[in-house]
């Protein structure tokens, strides 16, 4: 089932009376359960694409359809409601309110949504279950300054899932983390994807992208290539036997991606 459709998306800025075309007729779709990475050189339009799709920035032209509903014509208040209830967001900089505990930050979107389908007790229980699932239940009452970067990013993932979104958007979700914390976060995202969560992420990290099922390569505001990697958790070797050596599998995927990126001009 198709979750997201992007059709002829354009984004133009006027700077010093000169037109800067950041996105030019971008077209692609994302199916339910996909984990799609967007890669490209600096200034190619990766983050602008993510922000324009999610409604954080208004596209100049084109259409964005989420779950069968067109977003580009919605008013700001309606769009904010869609972002809150239908989308989850994970950023490189882990923005959280300093006057709230980790758990309160995680629960906040559910209380802001205004939905009446869950009681306060059910919301709290769901937040606790997410923290337990992502291995951070022990920091629930901590201030956000009392936890590691990896723990804080996992808390951001919990927060992004509180309203059971149709899709998760992530902009360089491991960019501010060391290698160990980055691997922790990617393990969590891959597990969520395996359980059916649709994810679109922007990254410059080949190790991160190699764990995704599909790569879109953007140059000068347009999708120049697409690479199908296959789902990491269902990857098979050429002879049809299930790969058990995850390290070897990841190295194979990284080599495949590296060769393709060189072809793309990376």
For residue 60, the SS3 value is coil
* Tokens read off for 7: 């059709």
Q: How confident is the model at residue 235 (pLDDT cuts 50, 70, 90)?
A: low
Q: How confident is the model at residue 3 (pLDDT cuts 50, 70, 90)?
A: very high
Which helix (H) or strand (E) segment holds residue 173: the answer is none
% pLDDT > 90, the chain = 76
Q: Would you list the DSSP string of 64-127?
A: EEETTEE-TT--HHHHHHHHHHHEEEEESS----TTSBHHHHHHHHHHHS--SSS-HHHHHHHH
Q: How confident is the model at residue 244 (pLDDT cuts 50, 70, 90)?
A: low
pLDDT of residue 92: 82
- Residue 89 near residue 54 (C-beta atoms within 8 A): yes
For residue 243, the SS3 value is coil
Which helix (H) or strand (E) segment holds residue 137: the answer is none
Q: How far is the C-alpha of 260 from the C-alpha of 266, rounded, in Å?
A: 9
% pLDDT > 70, the chain = 96
Q: State yes or no: pLDDT of 240 exceeds 70.
A: no
Average pLDDT, the chain: 91
Based on the structure, what is the number of domains in the chain?
Answer: 1
Q: How confident is the model at residue 15 (pLDDT cuts 50, 70, 90)?
A: confident
Q: How confident is the model at residue 116 (pLDDT cuts 50, 70, 90)?
A: confident
pLDDT of residue 236: 44
Q: What is the CATH number of the domain that holds 29?
A: 3.40.50.300
Enter the pTM of the model.
0.90
Q: Which residue did the predictor score with more confidence, 242 or 28? A: 28
The count of other CB atoms within 10 Å of the CB of residue 120 is 10
pLDDT of residue 246: 81
Segments forming the whole domain that contains residue 251: 2-264
């Amino acid at each position: 089932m198709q979750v997201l459709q992007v059709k002829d998306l354009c984004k133009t800025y006027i700077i010093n009376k000169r037109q800067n075309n950041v996105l030019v007729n971008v077209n692609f779709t994302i199916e339910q359960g996909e984990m799609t990475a967007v890669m490209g050189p600096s200034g190619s339009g990766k983050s602008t694409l993510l922000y324009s799709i999610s409604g954080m920035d208004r596209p100049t032209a084109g259409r964005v359809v989420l779950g069968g509903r067109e977003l580009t014509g919605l008013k700001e208040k309606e769009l904010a409601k869609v972002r809150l209830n239908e989308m989850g967001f994970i950023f490189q900089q882990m923005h959280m309110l300093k006057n709230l505990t980790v758990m309160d930050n995680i629960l906040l979107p559910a209380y802001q949504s205004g939905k009446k389908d869950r009681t306060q007790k059910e919301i709290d229980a769901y937040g606790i279950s997410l923290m337990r699932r992502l291995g951070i239940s022990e920091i629930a009452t901590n201030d956000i300054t009392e936890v590691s970067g990896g723990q804080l990013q996992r808390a951001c993932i919990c927060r992004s899932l509180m309203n059971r979104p149709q899709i998760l958007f992530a902009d360089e979700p491991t960019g501010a983390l060391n290698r160990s914390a980055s691997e922790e976060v990617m393990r969590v995202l891959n597990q969520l994807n395996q359980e059916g969560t649709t994810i679109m992420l922007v990254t410059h990290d080949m190790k991160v992208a190699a764990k995704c099922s599909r790569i879109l390569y953007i140059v000068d505001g347009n999708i120049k290539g697409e690479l199908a990697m296959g789902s990491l958790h269902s990857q098979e070797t050429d002879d049809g036997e299930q790969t058990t050596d995850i390290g070897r599998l990841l190295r194979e995927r990284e080599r495949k991606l590296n060769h393709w990126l060189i072809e793309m001009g990376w």
